[in-house]
Structure formats: C-alpha cells, structure tokens
Structure 1
C-alpha cells in the first residue's frame, strides 16, 4: 500500500494532468516525453509477447518438420498431411471469436496464460498420433486450444499503443514468425536427428514433447508478466500514465464504435477478413512447405534443411520492421501491403521454378519471406485504427479467424495438388501466388481513410 499522503497524491495527479496537457499539442513523432514513454512500453511489453508468439508459432508449424519422418512412420499421404496441418484452423476458426470476447471480459493476463498452457499440453500429446483419425483430432484440438491468442494480443497492444505507432509495434511482435522459423528450423532438425530413438521414441515424437514443454513454461510466466490496466503497472509514473491515457483517448475518436452484432454485420469487416485470407494463404504456404521446397532442391540432411530454412526468416526481419515503420510514419498502408503481396507471390513461384539450383531456390524464398512476413504487421494497422467499442474484439477476431481459414485451405490445397500432379510443388505454389495477387488487388480497392494524428499524408 502506498504511504504517500492524500494531498501529495492529489498534487501528483494534478502535475501529471498538467504534463499531459503540455504534451497534448506536441508532434507525436518528435515529442521527447512520448518517445521516452513508448520506448519504455515497447521494452516492457513487446519482448514477452514476442517470446510467447515464437513458441506458439513453433508449436503450430513444427508439424512441417515432423512430416519429414512422420508420414513414413504412420504411412500417411501428402493429402492426409495437408488436411491434418490445416484442420488446426477449423478449431481455431470455430472458437476464435468466443475466445477473444472472453479475453476482453476477463483480461489478457489470465486468458492468454490459459491459452498457452492448454495448447502446450495438446501439442505434446501429438506424439501419440497413430494414424489419420488421431492426427486430425489432435490438430483440431490444438486449434481449439490456441484460438484467440493472436487477435487477443493485437487487441491487447491496441490498448497500450496508439495507431501512429501500432504497425511497428505489431511488426516487432510479429517478427516472432520469422524468428520462430529461424529458431524452429535448426531446433527441430537437431531434436529429430539427435533425440530420435532415445527411450524408444522416434525423432518426430520428441519434437512435439520438447517444443510443447517450452510453451508450457512461457504460459505459466504469462500470468505474472502481463498487465490488464494502465493504472496497475508500477513501472509508469503518474505523468506517463496520464500522457498515455490522453493519447489513447484521442486515438479512440478516429474509430467507429461497434457492438458485437454490428461487427458481424459490417461489410468492411468481412472484406478485411477476405483480404486477410489471401494474405494468410501465402503465410501458411511459406510456413508449411519451406522444408519440402528445400528438400526438393536436393538437400537431403534434416539438419541442413533446418539450417537453410532459417535463412529466409532471418533476412526478412529487418525488412518487415522497416516497412511497418514506413507505414506508420506515412499513414500509408494499402500500397505497402499490395507490393509485399506481389513480392511474396513472385518469390514462391521462383523457389519451385528454380528448385534444381539450391542457392537460387533459397534466394527466391528470401524474397518470398520478405514480402509475406511484411504484410500482416502493416495490414493489422488498418482494422485496429478503424474499429472501437465493445465490438472491436469481435471485429478483430472475425477478421483473423476468417483469414486463418487459409491455414486449412493452403496446406490442403498444396498437398492435394502435389498428389494430383505426381509430387510436383509448382501447381500448389501457383495457387498460393494467385491468392496473394488477389489480395494485392483487394487492398487497393479499400477506400482511403484519414491518416492518424501525427502521420504524414497518405492512406490506410
């Protein structure tokens, strides 16, 4: 309990209000107090969420490495793998909106911890898959367990950072995707190569156990690391809390207040969901098939495939942060999203067209990763700047779960087309490239919105 006298508290609060008023008309991009405040927020909030997303994404896509051994052990076809990889997103789709509404009610601290603990358990249980039915069931349950994590974090970040800084913060958070690829590839290859046979378990079984345990530990930590309210944190002083509250209040005036029902009825929400579906087609095409593309180029060693799969992910990190900063600074989001969609499409196609040359294939995957990994952080700056009120949680969840249906369609479509064409990857990558190009066209049809305060002229 604070020992500060009530008069001193009142004086402190009054000083904080005066300080906030003094900064109210300062330019957000150059005001020293704001720069210091948002650097502090980024240091305190982003690293843990980044870590959580790393382990989440590894658990989501480690099946792409398990596939290298699991299909032979369980005698599964490429189509069965594609269905199993994608059925995760059906569970995710069904439970995402309810999960985000619960998070909005009970707070991120408890709900994100619950999500992480439950998905870590289900991910580890995937070691007991013995055929198509059990593989499908466990992947579906993993989607149910993880539902609400990503949109919950996006909603959480929108409650701490105004729209003029949100794309770059989301980019720092989403850099976890390429980092998870950079970490998950070598880690998965090492686990499968070195632990395979220990205690009589195949390498792919150890993969699910080891990486599930990491998520369990981070899930327990989430309960202690996250804060639901600005006034509950001890590492912000009164002036900083007042300034942050004032910035977020001004930011809220640019949003459309929505109820849960109006979010479901909004054509704009569903258009953004369709756009995100096209984006996610590329994202999961990259995530689920990079090891297979590299293997098709002639690399046989699981460990080498793991290390090579990290290269595109690592190189794309700097690009995605730089592109997101440009979008925030210019208030321009439509054209960067469209350009990145085109880059992703061209890179994926080139990676399979030049698969006979490993160096060229990996270089093409670098281009694909730069394009595809840079899209989502800029994209999420659009809906989080548009929607507010109680329906914001529902709108963000609807957009995310609609888009993530691509997580089912993308691996199934590529697997099915691969089986149909005698194991060729080109038809599947061509389908994903078309989806990305449709996404580029859709984002350019969005009506421009006024740029957020502090941004240069441009359009969302």
Structure 2
C-alpha cells in the first residue's frame, strides 16, 4: 500500500471498524438475549423470529432515502445522527414486555440503521480507488466476524454474570443496556473524527489531495462501458436486480447464522451461556482469517468472480454438514465452515457491485442493492423460527439456507463479466 493510502487507511478504517463492530453487535445481540428473554416474557420462537426479522422492514423502507440524505447533508453529520438514534432504540429494548413493543423497537432500530452500511461503502469509494476495494472492504467488514469473536463471549459473560438479576434488571436487560450505550457515545465521536471527504481533511497535504483526486478520476474513466447509467436506467437494468438477488441469498445465510448460531449451539447440548458464547466465537474467528486472506488474494490476482463463488460453495457445504450432524463437534465444524464462507462473501460482493455503477448512481445503487439484501434479514430469521416451531429442530432450515447459497453461486457466474471482474 502506497504511503498516501496507508495514511488514509490508518486514519479512516480503525474508527469505521469500531463503529461497524458495535453496529453488528447491536444487530445480533438479540440472538443471545433470546436465550433468556423468551421464557421470561412468554414469547414463542415465531414471535422472536418475526421480531428479529421486522428490523429489516424498517431498514428496507429507509435505506435509499437515508443514503440520499447522507449525500445531501454530509457523511459526518448523518452517520452521527444515525448512530445516536439506533443506539438509543437498541438500549430501549431492555424495557420490552410485549411482542408489540418488541416489534416496534426492532422496526425503529432498523429504520435508524438503514443508511449506515451503504453510506460507509459509498464513503470509502471517496477515499480509495477500485483496485484497493477488496482489501479495504475486507478490513472494514472483518468487524462482522470479530463482533462474533468478541460479542459472543462478552454476551455470554453478561448473561452469566447477571443471571441472578441486579438492580431490578434481568441479565438480558443488562445485555441491551451495556451493548447499546457505547453506540451512542461513538455516534457523538463521529463529528470529531470523520471528514466528509478529502477536500475537508486538513491532515492531507495539497499534493496528497491532488494525487487522490487524480486516482479517483482515472478510476471513474476506466469503468466498463455502460456503467454510467441514470437512476431510472438502473431501476430497469436487469444486472442491478441480479446483484440484488445475489446479495439477498448471501445475506440469507449470514443472518440465518447470526441470529440462530447461539440456539444451534445450545441445542447441540450446551446449556451454560458462557460456554455458548465461547463456542460461538470459533466460527467467527475462522471467518476473520478466511475473509482477510480472500480479500488480499482477490486484489492481488485482480479476480473477483471465483473469489466470491468459493466462499459461497464453502458455506453451502458447511450448512449441509451442520444439518446432518449428530455429534456436537461435527455440528460446530459445519457451522464454522458455513460462517466463514457466508461472511467472506459479503466484502467480496461489493467490489463486483461497485464496478457496475457510475459515481452518479452509486449512492442510490448501493442502497437499492443493499435493501434487496436486507429483505433476507426479515425472511431468513422468521423462516427459521417457523420451521423450528413446526419441526422442533433447525436441520430443515439449514438445508433451505444451503439451497440459497447454491443459487447465489449460480448467480455470480451470470453477472456480466468486465475487465475488472474476470
């Protein structure tokens, strides 16, 4: 990495990484709260699945408007507002007593978070040319598996440490409190840490700003013919919807795993929440290693297509192994492969999508594709909850997720190939 991009990466990526780390912990900690919350509140698995999934209805509805607002008011101001809002809504889940309250707060949290991820993807394109997107996205998105490595054991510890209840609060209430408030603090820090773009960055010299502008301009000029389309043309472009469908199937696996991994581990014979938290860290640790290795390999070889197909195939195999497993160790091994493959598919997807969009359509395009993927956040957990309620196990649901991964791998080879997507 050249000095200018090393300088930018060291300034921008660590803070965004921490923000995304808490974003993902906030999004999936409901999977750990579920281990105690459902019984205390008398909720069914289907109620939990619907509450986990309804988050993405708010996310879907507000995705494109939120990203357009980021363009209008600036990244720093809008990201700060989003983080403070969803941190407060997530913390308020500690006061839930009814399914209706659970649904409402999950819906509001999803609406508040809607523009964060596509906004960050767009934000990073203002700092790094496309040839560096694989490494940059894997560094940033490694926050997802690391949130599992750290969040699982910490969530398990919170549930175990506060199991007797303290200060009138149950352990699951402490979980939402202790993991929601840090997001509010980070949102306030955004205002002081981030710049809206290179021109506002007083830590870059005039020469460095000029070099970055030149690199981004060359990057835009080298985009494949037909990438510079209008928003209306993008809506009518089948490639955009193909990318949205691909992202849907990747996210189906990711959210199915994230929301139900603690339950799958518990069903394999582990009752101690601390043990469940520690075991849940194993698949995410494997995902960190695999994700970073594949991101570097994709950039080094300047190849995107097969670097995305391989993780999806790995996740497919892992889900089938976990579905068929009778031994807890084999089940965990299968979920480790499934998690590593599915999560690695996320950062390797975005360089492919970015190559299809011009700078003029990127804001709405990223949000539209991301919104298509987030539909899976509603469908996947709710489907698994219904299947588990009707069958008493998750094997059938895991097979359904595996089928989605196979469809996703087939879609990858159907996306039109350009010189950057061999």
What's the TM-score once normalised by structure 2's chain length? 0.97
Partner of residue 5, structure 1: none
Which of 183, 195, 207 is 2:175 aligned to? 207
Partner of residue 278, structure 1: 249
Partner of residue 317, structure 1: 288
CA distance, structure 2, for counterparts of residue 53 and residue 117 of structure 1: 13
Partner of residue 217, structure 1: 185
3-state SS, counterpart of residue 282 of structure 2: helix
Work out whether residues 100 and 152 of structure 1, in 8 Å CA contact, stay in contact via their aligned partners in 2.
yes
- Structure 1 unaligned segments of length 5 or more: list them: 1-33, 452-458
Once superposed, what is the RMSD of the aligned Cα atoms?
1.2
Partner of residue 188, structure 1: 155
Work out whether residues 55 and 109 of structure 2, in 8 Å CA contact, stay in contact via their aligned partners in 1.
yes
Work out whether residues 58 and 181 of structure 1, in 8 Å CA contact, stay in contact via their aligned partners in 2.
yes
Work out whether residues 89 and 109 of structure 2, in 8 Å CA contact, stay in contact via their aligned partners in 1.
yes
Work out whether residues 280 and 403 of structure 1, in 8 Å CA contact, stay in contact via their aligned partners in 2.
yes
Partner of residue 262, structure 1: 233
3-state SS, counterpart of residue 2 of structure 2: helix
Shift of residue 357 of structure 1? 2.3
Partner of residue 373, structure 1: 343
- Structure 2 unaligned segments of length 5 or more: list them: none
Which of 160, 163, 171 is 2:127 aligned to? 160
Partner of residue 101, structure 2: 134
CA distance, structure 2, for counterparts of residue 369 and residue 62 of structure 1: 16
With 376-385 and 236-245 compared, the bigger mean Cα shift is at 236-245
Shift of residue 258 of structure 1? 3.5
Work out whether residues 279 and 372 of structure 1, in 8 Å CA contact, stay in contact via their aligned partners in 2.
yes
CA distance, structure 2, for counterparts of residue 212 and residue 259 of structure 1: 39
CA distance, structure 2, for counterparts of residue 340 and residue 111 of structure 1: 33
CA distance, structure 2, for counterparts of residue 247 and residue 195 of structure 1: 53
3-state SS, counterpart of residue 332 of structure 1: coil
**Residue 376 of structure 2 is aligned to residue 406 of structure 1:** yes
CA distance, structure 2, for counterparts of residue 124 and residue 102 of structure 1: 25
Shift of residue 168 of structure 1? 1.1
How many residue pairs get aligned? The number is 418
CA distance, structure 1, for counterparts of residue 146 and residue 410 of structure 2: 29
CA distance, structure 2, for counterparts of residue 322 and residue 238 of structure 1: 34
CA distance, structure 2, for counterparts of residue 241 and residue 309 of structure 1: 43
Which of 247, 250, 263 is 2:218 aligned to? 250
Partner of residue 388, structure 1: 358
With 144-153 and 358-367 compared, the bigger mean Cα shift is at 358-367
With 389-398 and 260-269 compared, the bigger mean Cα shift is at 260-269
**Residue 9 of structure 2 is aligned to residue 38 of structure 1:** no
Partner of residue 420, structure 1: 390
CA distance, structure 1, for counterparts of residue 355 and residue 293 of structure 2: 20
CA distance, structure 1, for counterparts of residue 417 and residue 293 of structure 2: 22
Query: Deviation per CA, 1:264-297, whole angstroms, max 9, x where unpaired?
Result: 2322111100110000001101111110111111
With 365-374 and 172-181 compared, the bigger mean Cα shift is at 365-374
CA distance, structure 1, for counterparts of residue 201 and residue 213 of structure 2: 13
Partner of residue 448, structure 1: 417
Partner of residue 226, structure 1: 194
Work out whether residues 254 and 386 of structure 1, in 8 Å CA contact, stay in contact via their aligned partners in 2.
no
3-state SS, counterpart of residue 195 of structure 2: coil
> Max radius of gyration: which structure?
1
Shift of residue 104 of structure 1? 1.3
CA distance, structure 2, for counterparts of residue 310 and residue 389 of structure 1: 38
CA distance, structure 2, for counterparts of residue 297 and residue 184 of structure 1: 20
3-state SS, counterpart of residue 140 of structure 1: helix
